[in-house]
């Protein structure tokens, strides 16, 4: 799939994402924030980082950029849109996904390898995925919130779980509503998640050699 990986000023993960997408055979390239042509791509990834320094609120400035108009156009056409970490924050700030990502409950940045359960396999990203994935998070504002639990439950694709696969309070690294780690839109073609699949795509850097991030990224190779 021809995939644009958007680089805003302050984006830090664009090369990591391209490196991982190459593993699954995607035709991925970094596209600068001021030069996205939506018609050239079948899919778009908004990688992690600190777009525009996250100075106003994580993702808020990027959400109002010209590039996001292009992303919205792609989403409306049913193309695949994936937001990772800061990319997820940008997607909720731009309204492409429901809810908000608040500062972590302990008000600190946290890096940790976490387990997430795949609650929905009816999205293009998760159709062939394993049930539980092992991936790292690294964020200060990842506490998912939505004022309607029913909708949140329906849209939630990933949940932080413990070693037994339960969404326990201990497994919740940031205070997210219902341990939500990632959600989709109603159509299922837009996905945002806080964990970094691209960092779980190479066995040399994975604590147990697993490459669970590829389960989500694989679709871009089709």
Partner 1 sequence: MILTLSSGEMEVVRRVLGREPREAEWKLVDALWSEHCSYKSSKVFLRSLPSTGPNVIMSVEDWQDAGAVDVGNGLALVLKVESHNHPSAIDPFNGAATGVGGILRDIISKGAKPIALLDMIRVGKLDEKGKWLLRNIIAGIGFYGNSVGVPVVGGELSFDETYNDNPLVDVACAGIVSKDSIVPSVVKEPGLRLVLAGFTGLDGLGGASFASRKLSGMDEIGAVQIADPFAGKIIIDVTLEVAKEVEAIKDLGGGGLAVAVTEMANGLGAVVNLEKVPLRFKYLSPEDIIISETQERMLFAVKPERVESVCSKFREYNYPCEDIGEITADPTIRFQYNGQVVAELPSDLLLSPPLNVWPAERASRRREPGREVPLGEALRAILTHPDLVSKEWAYSQFDYEVGTSTVVKPGQADSAVVELPNGKYLALKGDANQDLCAEDAYECGKAIVAEAYRNLATVGARGIALVDHLQFGDPRKPNVYQDFIDAVRGISEASKFFSIPVVGGKVSFHNEDKNGNPIKPTPLVVMAGLIEGKLARNRIDEGNLVLIGETRNELAGTLFSRIFGGGGEVAKTKLIEDLIASNLVIKGINEGKVIWNKDISKGGLAGALLPILTKGFSVKISSSHVVGTSSVLGKMFSENGGRFLVLTSDPQWFMYQAGRMGIQASAIGKATRDGGKLVLDDETFPMDSVVENYYTFLEGSL
Active-site amino acid positions? 85, 196, 198
Report how far residue 174's alpha carbon sits from residue 142's, in angstroms, rounded to the nearest whole number.
6
23 exposed, middle or buried (CB, 10 Å; 0-12, 13-18, 19+)?
middle
- In 57-176, the DSSP E strands lie at 80-84, 100-102, 110-118, 132-139, 143-145, 156-161
Which parts of this chain interact with partner 1 (CB under 8 A)?
9-10, 12-13, 16, 19-20, 34, 48-50, 52-55, 108-112, 136, 138, 140, 196, 198-199, 201-202, 204-205, 207
10 versus 221: smaller Cβ distance to partner 1:
10
- Angle (CA) 53 58 64, round 5°: 85
CB of 40 to partner 1, least distance (A): 20
16 versus 75: smaller Cβ distance to partner 1:
16
CB of 30 to partner 1, least distance (A): 11
CB of 9 to partner 1, least distance (A): 5
Beta carbons within 10 angstroms of residue 74's beta carbon? 23
106 versus 168: smaller Cβ distance to partner 1:
106
CA of residue 210 relative to chain centroid, distance: 19
């Amino acid at each position: 799939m021809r995939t644009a990986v958007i680089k805003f000023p302050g984006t830090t993960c664009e090369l990591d994402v391209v490196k991982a997408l190459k593993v699954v055979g995607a035709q991925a390239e970094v596209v600068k924030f001021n030069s996205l042509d939506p018609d050239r791509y079948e899919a778009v990834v908004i990688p992690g980082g600190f777009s525009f320094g996250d100075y106003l609120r994580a993702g808020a400035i990027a959400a109002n950029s010209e590039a996001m108009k292009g992303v919205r156009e792609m989403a409306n056409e049913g193309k695949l849109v994936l937001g990772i970490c800061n990319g997820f924050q940008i997607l909720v700030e731009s309204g492409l996904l429901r809810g908000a990502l608040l500062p972590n409950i302990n008000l600190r940045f946290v890096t940790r390898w976490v387990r997430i359960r795949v609650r929905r396999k009816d999205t293009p990203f998760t159709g062939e995925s394993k049930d539980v994935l092992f991936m790292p998070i690294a964020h200060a504002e990842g506490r998912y919130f939505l004022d309607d639990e029913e909708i949140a439950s329906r849209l939630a694709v990933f949940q932080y779980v413990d070693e037994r696969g339960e969404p326990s309070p201990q497994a919740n690294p940031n205070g997210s509503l219902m341990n939500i780690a990632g959600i989709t839109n109603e159509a299922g073609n837009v996905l945002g998640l806080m964990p970094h699949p691209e960092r779980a795509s190479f066995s040399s850097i994975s604590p147990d050699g697993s490459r669970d991030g590829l389960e989500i990224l694989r679709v871009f190779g089709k």
